[in-house]
């Protein structure tokens, strides 16, 4: 390392980081030297990036470069890479050495292409500075517009544009935005000055203030800036630019950005890119305007150009939802030429990207400019329809269609919708824009904070707001649905809700909200925090009271996608089901068997719990057996029901798993009732409850450990299964039972219990004089780390393995699911974990055990059937992992079966690539 680079490392040492073990010594230098090119230019004469560089340039930067390349009218600019953002943080929030030199060179190119000059008084080059990560995070990051204006340049712009009002309006916007976003001056301070000016000129709207008022406003804003920042608003435009770039980098770790990433499980990104682009203005008068549009309807998927625009406005005004914009179709009346050009561009973009696009455009004095294109966010409904349509249009093939639908978004198609038969009698109190489909019922909450608090307390709430802003995301996420009174289909509320598949109605203008009073009024009626409303995101109707819902069905495009998925996937999909009803639902959604049938639920219904408690309180083996015999017929009938529903498909039955104390009541009153019912003293019951109490029940006397100490429980359950099997077979119903022994950790455990299962089956056959061979498989759950580690030994006595990844995750991490909430939020916020490992399988850790268990098990027994049950079986990324590891099937709750089928197909298609 050259000696000249040592000084930053010394500097780092002085703030106490680099003194030990030298891990940070010279880090910033190391990063810089690795960084290489930090800035990519795009413009008519020279374009350095392309659409494939999203990880480096962010989605926005990459696509601007791409659009420039294919000849679309894009204002020129350049993008600073996401690596630079990472380097900024790793160097302790300092811009990497040499970056501003590179920026300067690109500004020079930009001056050449635009004919304007950055910082020039006569013909100033104005810039927008925007953020853009590899994954789109709409509205999450800060933007600065009109950068490059100074006192002198404002005057110059006034001359150049012929509009002094426009020039100083742009200047006051810059001072406001820069003060707020870059320097952290509260927006309110600026607003107060504006209010004073309006009062002075007796102006109602901003636009009513005359030019001289706006010029005065700039002075007032500069005074605000000076007061709160402690220095003058910078008249050096490079200083402006440097601070703005830093502000974008900083916004990457703003609280709202962190929350957004957490909610959307976005992790592993480098940081944000910064796109610096020459400004065009939609607010230069009535021949100017700005708009956003989707090439198809993002809510329904219909192939109709779909968007909104505002005349004489800057881009942010559309998205912010402050003014309600006009549908894009009306643009042809206003500027036919620009509209036709936009339609042509729309078609070009869809053909180019073979994907539905979300675009932003501006018309400056009649000329169309494209400011952004990206793959449009859409609802699950739209994703399915667009994918099917594009296959029909021969734009894409089936595999591409399958890969493109976010499997998790199918949830929306599986959610209940309002019962059409009950619709007639419903009272519709208002109608808004159907911004995101779905059926939500709840009570109004009037701020995001209120929604968070009430939702966490278990209430179902509808967030009712004039408009939403990025600060509201947590409340939006926790609300059952969102209803806004202003804003269009592309407003913040609409875009974010669609991204999540959450029901949303936007711009329901008849509704008048009084958040202070906690109520809204519509057509003379007032609704407070206690009034239940129903909102239909597919029709835009707001309904009084609770409307009943009906369950979803697989039909139309959805069914088509499922057929394609089955064609390409190799991984089996089963369902978790404990009742005949669940079993049937799983089959309806395409499950090829039951991967987990929990038997403990069968002990709770009706009178059964009484027998179960008798068993637990019994003092001798005989008394336990007597109580168990009372349970036997119930269990047998349960199994007959489930076998019948599954018509010969395999049914994996897990023997009793939870610790016995879960079956006993823990409060005084219930214990007294139990004492009376069982004719026992309350002391005896309390004594047994306390005897069964465990410090760590998760790691206690449960699973197969119960069958080791109480073999009679195993005997009863296996008897019930075998009798049910014989009963079905005698009635010509096919059955494939699989007995699963839970929580096995050693070879001997399974060997001994398997022997007892086999013995019981043989005894039942003998007692029933049933001669033919019974095909009952016996296997185990791999859910204790030791079982995965010794899977080669355990497989000697197993016909199948099923990974119980819930418990395996608990034990591999040492996380109790019941207790994790005391620290999980901190872990997610500080990115100590990329996602909640109980929602998505931890492939790096727990996944190693799944892979090891599978490989070792199959080394002993190549025909070993291996599956996974538990929450992860319905999580798309976990399904991908299961495919990669070569499992035979995943099993998940009935409603997640279609998601697993699609995810399995995607995994197969992507693996083949």
Summarize as ranges the residues that interact with its own copies (CB under 8 A).
Answer: 13, 15-17, 19-21, 23, 694-701, 705, 708-709, 743, 745-746, 748-749, 752, 755, 758-759, 761-763, 765-766, 773-774, 776, 778, 783-786, 789-790, 793, 799, 807, 810-816, 818-819, 822-823, 826-827, 830-833, 842, 844-846, 848-849
Q: What is the Cα–Cα distance from 475 to 520, expressed in whole angstroms?
A: 18
CA 913 to centroid of chain Cα atoms: 26
Tell me the three state secondary structure of residue 370. Answer: strand
Rounded to a whole number of angstroms, the minimum distance from the CB of residue 760 to its own copies is 8
Q: Which is nearer to its own copies, 368 or 707 (CB)?
A: 707
Q: Which is nearer to its own copies, 264 or 746 (CB)?
A: 746
Helix, strand, or coil (residue 594): strand
Separation CA 827–CA 317 (nearest Å): 36
CA-to-CA dists, residue 550 to 244, 419, 810, 894, angstroms: 51, 5, 36, 16
Q: Which is nearer to its own copies, 15 or 839 (CB)?
A: 15
- Least distance CB 124 / its own copies (angstroms): 44
**Nearer CB in complex with its own copies: 89/228:** 89
Could you give the CA distance from residue 499 to residue 299 in angstroms, rounded to a whole number?
A: 10
Three-class SS of residue 543?
Answer: strand
Q: Which is nearer to its own copies, 562 or 616 (CB)?
A: 616
CB 528 to its own copies: min, Å: 31
Q: Could you tell me which residues are beta bridge partners of residue 290? A: 310, 362
Q: How far is the CB of 682 from its own copies (least distance, A)?
A: 22
Nearer to its own copies, 584 or 843 (CB): 843
CB of 844 to its own copies, least distance (A): 6
The CA-atom distances, in angstroms, between 411 and each of 385, 416, 877 are 15, 10, 15
If the CB atoms of residues 435 and 868 are measured against its own copies, the closer one turns out to be 868
Identify which of residues 536 and 871 has a Cβ nearer to its own copies in the complex: 871
Please report how many Cα atoms fall inside a 13 Å half-sphere around the Cα of residue 532, on the Cβ side.
10
Looking at the DSSP bridge assignments, the partners of residue 363 are: 289, 368
When the beta carbons of 549 and 829 are compared against its own copies, the nearer one is: 829
Nearest to 902 by CA among 871, 881, 874, 868: 874
Least distance CB 680 / its own copies (angstroms): 21
Q: Are the C-beta atoms of 563 and 528 separated by less than 8 Å?
A: no
| Sign of the alpha-carbon torsion through 343, 348, 353, 355 | positive
CB burial of residue 124 (10 Å; 0-12, 13-18, 19+): buried
Planar angle of CA 402, 407, 412, nearest 5 degrees: 120
CA dihedral 644, 645, 646, 647 (to 10 degrees): 50
> Could you tell me if 95 and 133 are in contact, meaning their C-beta atoms sit under 8 angstroms apart?
no
Question: What is the sign of the dihedral through the CA atoms of 846, 851, 857 and 859?
Answer: negative
| 352 alpha carbon, distance to own chain's centre | 28
Q: Three-state DSSP class for 327? A: strand
Q: Active site residue: 85, 218, 477, 492, which one?
A: 492
Buried b (16+ CB within 10 A) or exposed e, 29-51: bbbbeebeebbbbbbeeebbbbb
Q: Nearer Cβ to its own copies, position 417 or 719? A: 719
CB of 281 vs its own copies, minimal distance in Å: 45
According to DSSP H, which parts of 656-732 are helical?
A: 668-678, 682-692, 704-709, 711-730
**Is the CB of 669 or the CB of 830 nearer to its own copies?**
830
DSSP output for 229-266: HSSPPP--HHHHHHHHHHHHHHHTTSHHHHHHHHHTT-
Three-state secondary structure call for residue 308: strand
- Closest to its own copies by CB, 281 or 800: 800
Write down the least CB distance from residue 632 to its own copies, Å.
18
Annotation marks residue 492 as catalytic: yes
State the DSSP H helix or E strand holding residue 417, giving kind and residue range, or none if neither.
strand 417-418
* Contact yes or no for 91/31 (Cβ under 8 A): yes
- Residue 868 CB, shortest distance to its own copies, in Å, is 18
Considering the complex, what minimum distance in angstroms separates the CB of residue 795 from its own copies?
13
Shortest distance, CB of residue 701 to its own copies, whole angstroms? 4
Q: Which of 317, 301, 277, 316 is nearest to 107 (CA)?
A: 277
Q: Shortest gap between Cβ of 125 and its own copies (angstroms)?
A: 42
Selected catalytic residue, list 869, 872, 882, 883? 869
Whole-number Å distance between alpha carbons of 656 and 663: 12
45 or 691: CB nearest its own copies? 691
Active site residue 869: yes
Q: Can you tell me which residue has the tokens 């610790």?
A: 659
Whole-angstrom distance, CA of residue 256 vs CA of residue 472 = 9
Q: C-beta of 869: minimal distance to its own copies in Å? A: 17
Cα separation, 297 vs 304, whole angstroms = 6
Residue 117 pairs in a beta bridge with: 124
User: Residue 694's CB: how many other CB atoms inside 10 A?
Assistant: 12
Active site residue ranges: 492, 869
């Amino acid at each position: 390392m050259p000696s000249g680079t040592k000084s930053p490392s010394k500097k780092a040492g002085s703030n106490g980081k680099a003194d030990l073990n030298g891990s940070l010594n010279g880090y910033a230098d190391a990063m810089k030297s690795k960084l290489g090119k930090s800035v990519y230019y795009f413009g008519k004469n020279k374009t350095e990036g392309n659409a494939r560089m999203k990880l480096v340039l962010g989605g926005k930067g990459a696509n601007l470069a791409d659009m420039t390349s294919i000849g679309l009218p894009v204002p020129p600019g350049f993008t600073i890479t996401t690596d630079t953002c990472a380097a900024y943080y790793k160097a302790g929030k300092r811009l990497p050495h040499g970056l501003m030199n590179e920026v300067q060179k690109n500004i020079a190119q930009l001056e050449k292409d635009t004919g304007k000059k950055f910082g020039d008084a006569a013909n100033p080059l104005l810039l927008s500075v925007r953020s853009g990560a590899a994954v789109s995070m709409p509205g999450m990051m800060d933007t600065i517009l009109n950068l490059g204006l100074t006192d002198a340049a404002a005057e110059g712009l006034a001359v150049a544009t012929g509009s002094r009002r426009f020039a100083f309006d742009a200047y006051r916007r810059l001072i406001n935005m820069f003060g707020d976003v870059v320097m952290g001056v509260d927006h309110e301070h600026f607003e107060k000055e504006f209010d004073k000016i309006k009062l002075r000129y007796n102006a109602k709207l901003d636009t009513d203030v005359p030019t001289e008022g706006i010029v005065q406003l700039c002075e007032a804003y500069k005074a605000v800036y000076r007061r709160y920042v402690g220095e003058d608003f910078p008249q050096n435009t490079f200083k402006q630019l440097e601070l703005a770039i830093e502000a974008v980098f900083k916004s990457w770790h703003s609280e709202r950005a962190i929350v957004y990433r957490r909610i959307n499980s976005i992790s592993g990104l480098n940081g944000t890119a910064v796109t610096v682009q020459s400004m065009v203005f939609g607010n230069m008068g009535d021949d100017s305007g700005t708009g956003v549009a989707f090439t198809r309807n993002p809510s329904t998927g219909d192939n109709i150009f779909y968007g909104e625009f505002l005349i004489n406005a800057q881009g942010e005004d559309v998205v912010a939802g402050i003014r309600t914009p006009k549908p894009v179709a009306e643009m042809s009346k206003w500027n036919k030429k620009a509209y036709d050009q936009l339609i042509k561009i729309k078609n070009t973009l869809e053909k180019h990207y073979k994907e539905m696009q979300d675009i932003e455009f501006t018309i400056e004095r009649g000329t169309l400019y494209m400011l952004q294109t990206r793959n449009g966010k859409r609802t699950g409904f739209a994703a399915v329809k667009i994918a099917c349509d594009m296959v029909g249009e021969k734009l894409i093939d089936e595999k591409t269609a399958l890969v493109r639908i976010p499997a998790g978004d199918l949830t929306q198609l599986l959610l209940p919708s309002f019962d059409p038969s009950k619709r007639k009698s419903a009272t519709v109190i208002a109608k808004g824009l159907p911004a995101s489909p779905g059926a939500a019922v709840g009570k109004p909450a009037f701020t995001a904070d209120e929604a968070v608090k009430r939702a966490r307390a278990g209430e179902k709430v509808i967030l009712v707001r004039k408009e939403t802003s990025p600060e509201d995301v947590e409340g939006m996420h926790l609300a059952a649905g969102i209803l806004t009174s202003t804003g269009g289909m592309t407003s913040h509320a609409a875009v974010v809700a669609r991204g999540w598949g959450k029901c949303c109605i936007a711009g329901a203008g008849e509704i008048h909200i009084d958040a202070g009073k906690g109520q809204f009024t519509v057509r003379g009626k007032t609704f407070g925090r206690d009034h239940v409303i129903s909102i239909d995101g597919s029709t835009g109707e707001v309904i009084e009271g609770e409307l009943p819902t009906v369950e979803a069905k697989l039909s139309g495009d959805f069914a088509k996608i499922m057929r394609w998925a089955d064609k390409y996937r190799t991984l089996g999909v089963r369902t978790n089901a404990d009742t005949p009803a669940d079993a049937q639902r799983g089959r309806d959604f395409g499950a090829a068997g039951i991967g987990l049938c929990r038997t403990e639920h069968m002990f709770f219904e009706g009178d059964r719990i009484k027998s179960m408690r008798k068993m637990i309180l019994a003092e001798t083996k005989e008394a336990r057996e007597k109580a168990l015999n009372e349970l036997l017929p119930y269990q047998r009938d349960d199994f007959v029901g489930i076998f019948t529903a599954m018509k010969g498909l395999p049914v994996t039955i897990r023997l009793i798993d939870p610790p016995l104390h879960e079956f006993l009541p823990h409060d005084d009153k219930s214990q007294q009732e139990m004492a009376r019912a069982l004719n026992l003293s309350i002391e005896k019951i309390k004594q047994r409850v306390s005897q069964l109490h465990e410090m760590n029940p998760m790691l206690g006397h449960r699973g197969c450990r119960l069958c080791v100490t109480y073999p009679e429980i195993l005997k009863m359950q296996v008897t019930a299964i075998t009798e049910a099997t014989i009963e079905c077979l005698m009635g010509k119903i096919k059955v494939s039972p699989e007995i699963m022994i839970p929580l096995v950790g050693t070879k001997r455990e399974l060997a001994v219990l398997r022997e007892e299962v086999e013995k019981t089956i043989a005894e039942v056959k003998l007692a029933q004089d049933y001669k033919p061979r019974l095909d009952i498989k016996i296997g185990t759950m791999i859910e204790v780390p030791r079982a995965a580690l010794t899977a080669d030994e355990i497989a000697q006595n197993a016909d199948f393995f099923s990974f119980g990844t819930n418990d395996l995750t608990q034990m591999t991490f040492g996380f109790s699911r019941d207790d994790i909430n005391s620290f999980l939020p901190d872990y997610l916020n500080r990115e100590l974990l990329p996602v909640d490992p109980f929602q998505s399988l931890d492939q790096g850790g727990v996944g190693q055990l799944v892979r090891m268990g599978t490989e070792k098990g199959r080394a002993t027994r190549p025909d070993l059937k291996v599956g996974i049950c538990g929450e992860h079986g319905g999580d798309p990324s976990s399904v991908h992992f299961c495919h990669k590891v070569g499992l035979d099937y995943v099993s998940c709750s009935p409603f997640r079966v279609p998601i697993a089928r699609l995810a399995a197909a995607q995994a197969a298609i992507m693996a083949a690539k």
